[in-house]
């Protein structure tokens, strides 16, 4: 008789809880935040702020996963992709998941308090939006817009940390980034559309219906258009035009992945989004030199 498999350790369950083996999630948060740091500083922002925002992004995304899994535990068991998440499967209790999330959020706050008062104040707003997002899926027809604000709030925080204020440029970049989040999280929602319809979850993929592919493509284009208009005076034109060419090529690739609406194609498109964020960041970093 084959030996029984060992039960996973608490550490491995916690790492699964925060999606440690799927870094695409925190990369989607990191690239626009770093782009904002570079724009705000007019170049390299210094090691202190780079470490604060990189580590803070990873910690807060991980804490957000804990809250999201607790809030969605009764829904996730009905969705093929999420049925085996630690909280949903009962391997991690609600109290334990919230405790892990609280520790991670406190660690992120310890980093924020090394900046300035405005950045600290904005961190509370960011936390409130992060906590609100899982519950928006019950009442908002396009909860991806709420996620878009949450995933873009590192932008005004970056400007606050560098400049001590949040200029109009930061809010324009936040708006542009919100459209990017709408694009990739709609791709994500397209993966689970059948399950979400069955359990009554609200998502942009359901709200948009057959207009989903066109809308996702439009969201990508709006993101790039707004950032181009906002950053054109800030960056070297040749560098940014080259960045746009690479980014637009990725948009075309995403269209080819999602146009048939297959689960595999939509999930592959979602997972590839961090490359678009990386492309934009490289354009900002090189263009501001």
C-alpha–C-alpha distance, residues 38 and 41, integer Å: 5
The token pair at 234 is 């800030």
- Catalogue all structural domains in the chain, each as residue range(s) with its CATH number: 12-287 (1.10.357.140)
Cα gap 272→184, rounded to integer Å: 9
- Please report the pLDDT score of residue 16 as a whole number: 81
Axis-axis angle for helices 237-258, 273-287 (nearest 10): 180
One pLDDT digit (tens) per residue for the chain, 289 residues? 344 455 668 888 888 888 877 888 889 999 999 999 999 999 999 999 999 999 999 999 888 888 888 877 766 666 666 667 777 877 888 888 889 889 999 999 999 999 999 999 999 999 888 888 877 777 778 888 888 888 899 999 999 999 999 999 999 999 999 999 999 999 998 998 887 788 777 888 888 889 999 999 999 999 999 999 999 999 999 999 999 999 999 999 999 999 999 999 999 999 999 999 999 999 999 998 8
Cα(26)–Cα(40) distance, integer angstroms: 21
Model pLDDT, residue 205:
85
Q: What is the pLDDT of residue 76?
A: 64
């Amino acid at each position: 008789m084959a030996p029984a498999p060992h039960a996973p350790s608490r550490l491995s369950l916690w790492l699964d809880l925060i999606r440690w083996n799927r870094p695409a999630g925190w990369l989607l948060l990191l690239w626009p935040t770093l782009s904002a740091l570079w724009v705000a500083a007019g170049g390299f922002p210094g090691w202190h702020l780079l470490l604060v925002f990189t580590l803070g992004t990873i910690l807060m995304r991980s804490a957000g996963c804990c809250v999201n899994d607790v809030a969605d535990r009764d829904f996730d068991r009905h969705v093929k992709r999420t049925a085996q998440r630690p909280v949903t499967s009962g391997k991690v209790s609600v109290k334990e998941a919230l405790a892990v999330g609280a520790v991670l959020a406190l660690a992120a706050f310890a980093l924020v308090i090394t900046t300035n008062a405005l950045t600290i104040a904005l961190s509370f707003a960011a936390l409130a939006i992060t906590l609100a997002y899982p519950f928006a899926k019950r009442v908002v027809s396009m909860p991806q817009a709420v996620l878009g604000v949450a995933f873009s709030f590192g932008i005004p925080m970056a400007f606050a940390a560098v400049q001590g204020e949040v200029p109009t440029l930061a809010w324009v970049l936040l708006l542009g980034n919100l459209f990017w989040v709408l694009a990739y999280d709609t791709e994500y929602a397209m993966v689970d559309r059948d399950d979400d319809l069955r359990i009554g979850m609200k998502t942009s993929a359901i709200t948009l219906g057959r207009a989903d592919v066109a809308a996702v493509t439009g969201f990508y284009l709006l993101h790039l258009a707004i950032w181009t208009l906002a950053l054109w005076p800030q960056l070297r034109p040749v560098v940014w035009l080259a960045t746009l060419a690479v980014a637009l090529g990725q948009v075309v690739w995403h269209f080819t992945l999602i146009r048939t609406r297959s689960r595999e194609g939509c999930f592959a498109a979602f997972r590839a989004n961090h490359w678009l964020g990386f492309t934009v960041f490289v354009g900002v970093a090189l263009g501001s030199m």
